[in-house]
Structure 1
Amino acid sequence: MTGTVTIRKAGPGLSLQDMGRPGYLVHGVSRGGAADPLALAEGAALLSQSPDAAALEMAGMGGEFTADRDLRIALTGADMRATMDGAPLVSNASHSWPEGAVLSIGAARLGTYGYLHVGGGFVTPKRLGSRSAHLGAGLGTLLDDGETLPVGTDAGKTTGQVLTPDPRFDGGALRVLPSLQTDFFPADVLERFEATEFHRDIRGNRMGARMNSDGPGFLTDGGLSVLSEVIVPGDIQVTGDGTPFVLLAECQTTGGYPRIGTVLPCDLPKVAQAQPGAGLRFHFVTLEQAIEAETRARDAVKGLRSKVHPLIRDPRDMPDLLSYQLISGAIAGNEEI
Structure 2
Amino acid sequence: MTGDLIVHRAGPGITVQDLGREGCLAHGLSRGGAADPSALAQGAALLNQAPSLAALEIAGAGMEVSATRATWIALTGAPMRAHLADKRLIWNASHCLPPGERLRLGPMESGHYAYLHVAGGIDVPMVVGGRGTHLASGIGAALEDGATLPVGKDPLPDRNPSRLPDDPRFDGGRIRFLEGPQTRLFPDDVLARFLATEFTRTAWGNRQGVKLGQDGDGFRPQDGLNLLSEVISPGDIQITGDGTPYVLGPECQTIGGYPRIGTVLPQDLPRVMQATSGAPLRFDLVTLEEALSDYSTPKNLVPGFRRRITPLVRNPHDIVDLLSYNFISGVTAGRDLDEEEPRA
TM-score (norm: length of structure 1): 0.93
**Secondary structure of residue in 1 paired with 2:219:** coil
CA RMSD of aligned residues (A): 1.9
Deviation at 1:63, TM superposition (A): 0.2
Please show how residues 14-163 of structure 1 align to structure 2 within 5 Å: 14-156=14-156, 157-163=158-164
The answer on whether the counterparts of 1:62 and 1:114 sit within 8 Å (CA) in structure 2 is: no
Tell me what 1:223 maps to.
Answer: 224
Deviation at 1:299, TM superposition (A): 5.1
Tell me what 1:329 maps to.
Answer: 331
The answer on whether the counterparts of 1:185 and 1:222 sit within 8 Å (CA) in structure 2 is: no
Q: Could you list the runs of 5+ residues in structure 1 that have no partner in the other structure? A: 331-337
The answer on whether the counterparts of 2:233 and 2:248 sit within 8 Å (CA) in structure 1 is: yes
**Secondary structure of residue in 2 paired with 1:110:** coil
Q: Could you list the runs of 5+ residues in structure 2 that have no partner in the other structure? A: 333-344
Deviation at 1:303, TM superposition (A): 2.1
Q: Distance in 2 between matches of 1:300 and 1:128?
A: 25
**Secondary structure of residue in 1 paired with 2:57:** strand
Question: Per the alignment, do residues 326 and 144 of structure 1 end up closer, same or farther by CA in structure 2, a change over 3 Å counting?
Answer: farther
Q: Distance in 2 between matches of 1:166 and 1:298?
A: 18
Deviation at 1:329, TM superposition (A): 2.0
Question: Per the alignment, do residues 124 and 292 of structure 1 end up closer, same or farther by CA in structure 2, a change over 3 Å counting?
Answer: same
Q: Distance in 2 between matches of 1:123 and 1:323?
A: 25
Matched to 1:77, the amino acid is G
Deviation at 1:321, TM superposition (A): 4.5
Tell me what 1:333 maps to.
Answer: none
Tell me what 1:292 maps to.
Answer: 293
Deviation at 1:326, TM superposition (A): 9.8
**Secondary structure of residue in 2 paired with 1:111:** coil
1:170-214 deviation line (CA, Å, top 9, x unaligned):
111100101111101111111111111111111110000000001
Q: Distance in 1 between matches of 2:302 and 2:181?
A: 30
**Secondary structure of residue in 2 paired with 1:189:** helix
**Secondary structure of residue in 2 paired with 1:265:** coil
Please show how residues 151-300 of structure 1 align to structure 2 within 5 Å: 151-156=151-156, 157-295=158-296, 300=301
* Percent identical residues: 55
The answer on whether the counterparts of 1:39 and 1:77 sit within 8 Å (CA) in structure 2 is: yes
Q: Distance in 2 between matches of 1:296 and 1:94?
A: 22
Q: Distance in 2 between matches of 1:159 and 1:171?
A: 33
Count of residues paired in the alignment: 330
Question: Per the alignment, do residues 314 and 169 of structure 1 end up closer, same or farther by CA in structure 2, a change over 3 Å counting?
Answer: farther
249-258 or 288-297, which moves further after superposition? 288-297
Matched to 2:110, the amino acid is L
Q: Distance in 2 between matches of 1:134 and 1:295?
A: 24
The answer on whether the counterparts of 1:232 and 1:251 sit within 8 Å (CA) in structure 2 is: yes
Q: Distance in 1 between matches of 2:298 and 2:97?
A: 31
Question: Per the alignment, do residues 171 and 314 of structure 1 end up closer, same or farther by CA in structure 2, a change over 3 Å counting?
Answer: farther
The answer on whether the counterparts of 1:122 and 1:152 sit within 8 Å (CA) in structure 2 is: yes
Tell me what 2:312 maps to.
Answer: 311
Deviation at 1:141, TM superposition (A): 0.4
Higher helix residue share: 1
Matched to 1:254, the amino acid is I
